[in-house]
């Protein structure tokens, strides 16, 4: 029989969040993960640490304490300003090998999904992608990682019982960001330790301190160079942070009719979303797409106008606080997940709504 | 130029139905297709071969019927197809899948470019590409939406959430591609015909045919395990507003007031 060797997993402790920055600014997903990580750490009666690789992040990193991190580790180097597979994988694997966290969470951003699998392969541990729910099995003290698969048709709970760390990625916007508590970020004292210091753990005693780790990057084989990073002007679509989203689907009927959707969004001070069907038709830019292959959104109110409610669309918006559906087909699946449904022609009802909201002002 | 493409056969998840009673997927009668982004990967490989000469090898791990996906890949322009198929691979998570594929790739030859889709539409993890790159100890560029190969240099446009970056590296490299990269061609009928005549265009390898550590295969070796699966339920049932158009709009406004939205 081919016996699989079991990894030694005792000695792994604590919950880690790999807090992603771009241009030395932390991304929202880092705070969302801290908020979630805090709950897991409390369940396990252990500490929550955030780790940031950047070129200049000290001030910005303090914010992580407000989101309930106990420790914040930073590694600063000009080479770490922009994400790169080789440098980030190498530094983070060194840190994990030294500190041995039992759980490591990272954002399922493009960079996180480049980095996560590379780390898990190097450390020979498991990685669960795009989790929508994380919980602790108290009895076995393991992480229960729930995620959609088969295009959202199936949910699976994944465990990683015999390897450490247990690693998960979580998409931006999926976990709730807690209220920041700025009273926690009071005293910050910096200590500097070399990552290769064998007694690294013993330097870190009190919580609430930024630990400035030094890493020698000269040993890392760096193959790739980033020539440039281009931001594409996409108007000001900011679906992830919008409070109100008015989305249109194929039922809008034509690109011209999208004006009706835009008008309602503008009256409400919201953003315009779309189903993939209309993005594929070319009626609106891909930046507006909500769903499995678009954005995951969680606004206070989501209007789905002329959207059937395919599973891939729902995957991106079903956690909205309040969902309002407008559709001519009373059997449209969108009505199964909405809070309020309006059966009817959007071309009539949407302008009526816009007018009614305008009149309120 | 020696190019390899990883192709996965997947159920067309658009066609998957749910057995609400049992909470399982109904996969009977669901057509199997080449994972859509893997077709993009293959198209790019074939175009590069057509431009620079060389050979395109396709590799897949899967059950015997995955041969059909490889026949289609051959008809799209692959020169040689390898199917890694053995009961020992069953239940692999991405760690074990990438190990098995990486070992198969080592056996298949030396490749300057290795292409993967970014993500398979069934497992949906987007992990296998980077994990193969790690196991082969080569660089990777993920989310590729534009590509230029010039001698030993590769320049790729890598999609980011709010734009893209331009990344440069030297061969060999593993690239995972997204659907902005190209529009794949249709399989050629004459190549389909010749595929059936040329029996050796698809090789099937079991664990005996390439070098693998048998303790690193399949379910038993996989760090992650599927603990439970269930069909997502609709937690809320919407309140359908009754009345004529005006009344409905009025009711909606009242509801929004009640919810303190306005
Ligand atoms: C791998 C994969 C990923 C995908 N990712 C996404 C994704 O990220 N986001 C996404 O949205 N989709 C995604 N899709 C596509 C998804 O499966 C659906 O095809 C898509 O969401 C349908 O868009 P729709 O609801 O606008 O169009 P349809 O399904 O055609 O629905 C149109 C709706 O409009 C209604 N209607 C028609 N006329 C009117 C009217 N005058 N007034 C009111 N209602 C009207 C109709 O009753 C119907 O319900 C993905 C698919 C796959 C396979
Ligand atoms: C419900 C469910 C949930 C799962 N969740 C996880 C999880 O969270 N973590 C985990 O490690 N495993 C998970 N698995 C197992 C995982 O689906 C399999 O390991 C699968 O073989 C590869 O993963 P993927 O389909 O996500 O491929 P991806 O990583 O999304 O595939 C990316 C690319 O890699 C290449 N590729 C992938 N598989 C093959 C193949 N067999 N042959 C050739 N090329 C290939 C293709 O080019 C593909 O486009 C899950 C399985 C199920 C059924």
Number of Cβ within a 10 Å radius of residue A263: 19
Answer yes or no: are the C-beta atoms of B4 and B114 closer than 8 Å.
Answer: yes
**Distance between CA atoms of residues B191 and B193, nearest Å:** 5
Q: Are A20 and A26 a contacting pair, CB within 8 Å?
A: yes
- Residue A220: name the closest of A350, A122, A346, A311 by CA: A122
Domain range summary for chain B, segments of one domain joined by +: 2-221
More confident residue, A151 or B76: B76
Residue A204 reports pLDDT greater than 80: no
Closest by CA position to A117, among listed A181, A153, A167 = A167
Q: Which domains does chain A have, with CATH numbers?
A: 15-219 (3.40.50.620), 239-360 (3.40.50.1220)
Alpha-carbon distance of A335 to A323, in angstroms, equals 9
Condensed to tens digits (0 to 9), the pLDDT of residues A119-169 reads 999 999 999 999 999 999 999 999 999 999 887 788 999 999 999 999 999
Distances (CA, A) of A107 to A16, A256, B120: 12, 37, 19
Q: Is the dihedral of CA A90, A93, A98, A101 positive or negative?
A: positive
The answer, yes or no, to whether any atom of ligand 1 lies below 6 A from the CB of A286, is no
As given in the structure block, the two tokens for residue A172 are 């931006």
Upper half-sphere CA count for residue A165 (Cβ side, 13 Å): 28
Q: Could you report the per-residue pLDDT of B143-174, keeping only the tens digit for each?
A: 999 999 999 999 999 999 889 999 999 999 99
Nearest protein CA to atom 18 of ligand 1, as residue: A310
Q: What is the pLDDT of residue A2?
A: 47
The DSSP result for A10-46, as a single string, is: TT---EEEE--EETTEE-HHHHHHHHHHHHHHHHHT-
Whether B226 and A109 lie within 8 Å, measured CB to CB: no
In chain B, which residue's Cα lies nearest the Cα of A234? B162
For a ligand 2 pocket test, name from B68, B94, B222 the mutation site with the most ligand atoms within 8 angstroms of its C-beta: B94
Taking CA atoms, A352 is separated from A268, A348, B246, in Å, by 13, 7, 8
Residue with the smallest CA separation from ligand 2 atom 43 is: B60
Cα–Cα distance measured from residue A180 to residue B204, given in angstroms and rounded to the nearest whole number: 57
Where does ligand 2 bind, in terms of residues with CB under 6 Å? A 126-129, 147, 149, 154, 156, 158; B 6-8, 35, 37-38, 60-62, 92-95, 97, 101, 116-117, 119-120, 122-129, 224, 226, 229
Q: How far is the CA of B247 from the centre of ligand 2 (A)?
A: 50
Q: For the segment B86-119, what is each residue's pLDDT rounded down to a tens digit?
A: 999 999 999 999 999 999 999 999 999 999 999 9
**Looking at residue B234, what is its pLDDT?**
60
Q: What is the mean pLDDT of residues B125-132?
A: 98
Helix/strand/coil for A51: strand
Q: Which residue has the tokens 């074939």?
A: B46
Looking at the CA of B15, name the nearest ligand. Answer: 1
Take residue B41 and report the two structure tokens written for it: 């990967």
Measure B124 CA to ligand 2 centroid, in angstroms.
Answer: 7
CATH 3.40.50.300 fits B2-221, yes or no: no
The residues in A 320-349 lying below 8 A from B, measured between CB atoms, are 322-325, 330, 335-344, 348-349
Q: Tell me the ipTM for this assembly.
A: 0.87
Is the pLDDT reported for residue A234 higher than 70?
no
Residue A190 dihedral angles phi and psi, to the nearest 5°: -95, 135
User: What single DSSP character describes residue A288?
Assistant: G
């Amino acid at each position: 029989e081919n016996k699989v060797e079991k990894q030694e997993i005792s000695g792994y402790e604590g919950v880690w969040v790999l807090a992603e920055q771009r241009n030395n600014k932390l991304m929202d997903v880092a705070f969302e993960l801290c908020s979630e990580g805090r709950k897991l750490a409390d369940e396990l009666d252990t500490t929550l640490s955030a780790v940031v690789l950047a070129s200049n992040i000290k001030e910005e990193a303090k914010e992580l304490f407000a989101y309930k991190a106990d420790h914040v580790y930073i590694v600063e180097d000009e080479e770490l300003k922009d994400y790169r597979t080789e440098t980030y994988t190498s530094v983070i694997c060194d840190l994990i090998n030294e500190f041995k966290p039992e759980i490591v969470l990272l954002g399922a951003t493009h960079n996180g999904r480049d980095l996560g699998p590379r780390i898990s392969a190097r450390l020979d541990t498991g990685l669960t992608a795009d989790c929508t729910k994380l919980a602790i099995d108290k009895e076995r003290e393991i992480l229960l990682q729930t995620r959609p698969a088969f295009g959202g048709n199936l949910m699976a709970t994944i465990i990683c019982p015999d390897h450490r760390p247990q690693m998960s990625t979580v998409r931006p916007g999926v976990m709730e960001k807690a209220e920041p508590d700025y009273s926690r970020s009071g005293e910050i004292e910096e200590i500097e330790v070399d990552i290769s210091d064998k007694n690294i753990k013993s330097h870190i005693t009190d919580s609430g301190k930024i630990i400035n780790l030094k890493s020698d990057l000269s040993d890392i084989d760096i193959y790739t160079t980033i020539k440039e990073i281009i931001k594409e002007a996409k108007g000001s679509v900011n679906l992830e942070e919008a409070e109100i989203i008015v989305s249109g689907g194929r039922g809008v009927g034509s690109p011209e009719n999208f004006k009706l959707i835009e008008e309602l969004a503008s009256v409400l001070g919201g953003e315009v979303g779309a189903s993939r069907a209309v993005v594929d038709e070319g009626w609106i830019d891909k930046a507006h797409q909500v769903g499995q292959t678009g954005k995951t959104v969680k606004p206070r109110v989501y209007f789905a106008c002329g959207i059937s409610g395919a599973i891939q669309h729902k995957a991106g918006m079903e956690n909205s606080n309040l969902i309002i559906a407008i559709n001519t087909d009373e059997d449209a699946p969108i009505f199964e997940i909405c809070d309020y449904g309006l059966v009817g022609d959007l071309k009539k009802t949407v302008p009526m709504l816009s007018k009614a909201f305008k009149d309120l002002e | 130029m020696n190019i390899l493409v990883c192709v996965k056969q997947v159920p067309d998840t658009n066609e998957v139905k749910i057995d609400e009673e049992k909470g399982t997927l109904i996969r009977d009668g669901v057509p199997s297709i080449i994972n859509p982004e893997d077709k993009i990967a293959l198209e790019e490989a074939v175009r590069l071969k057509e431009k620079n000469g060389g050979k395109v090898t396709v590799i897949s791990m899967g059950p015997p019927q995955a041969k059909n996906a490889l026949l289609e890949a051959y008809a799209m322009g692959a020169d040689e197809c390898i199917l890694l198929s053995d009961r020992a691979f069953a239940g692999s998570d991405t760690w074990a899948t990438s190990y098995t594929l990486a070992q198969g790739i080592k056996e298949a030859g030396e490749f300057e470019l290795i292409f993967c889709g970014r993500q398979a539409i069934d497992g949906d993890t987007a992990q296998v590409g980077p994990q193969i790159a790690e196991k082969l100890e080569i660089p990777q560029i993920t989310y590729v939406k534009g590509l230029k190969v010039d001698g030993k240099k590769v320049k790729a446009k890598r999609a980011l959430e709010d734009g893209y970056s331009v990344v440069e590296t030297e061969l060999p490299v593993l690239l995972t591609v997204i659907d902005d990269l190209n529009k794949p061609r249709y399989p050629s009928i004459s190549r389909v015909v010749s595929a059936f005549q040329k029996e050796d265009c698809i090789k099937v390898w079991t664990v005996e045919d390439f070098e693998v550590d048998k303790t690193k295969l399949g379910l038993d070796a996989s760090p992650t395990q599927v603990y439970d699966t269930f069909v997502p339920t609709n937690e809320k049932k919407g309140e359908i507003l009754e009345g004529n158009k005006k009344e409905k709009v009025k009711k909606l406004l009242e509801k929004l007031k009640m919810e303190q939205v306005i």
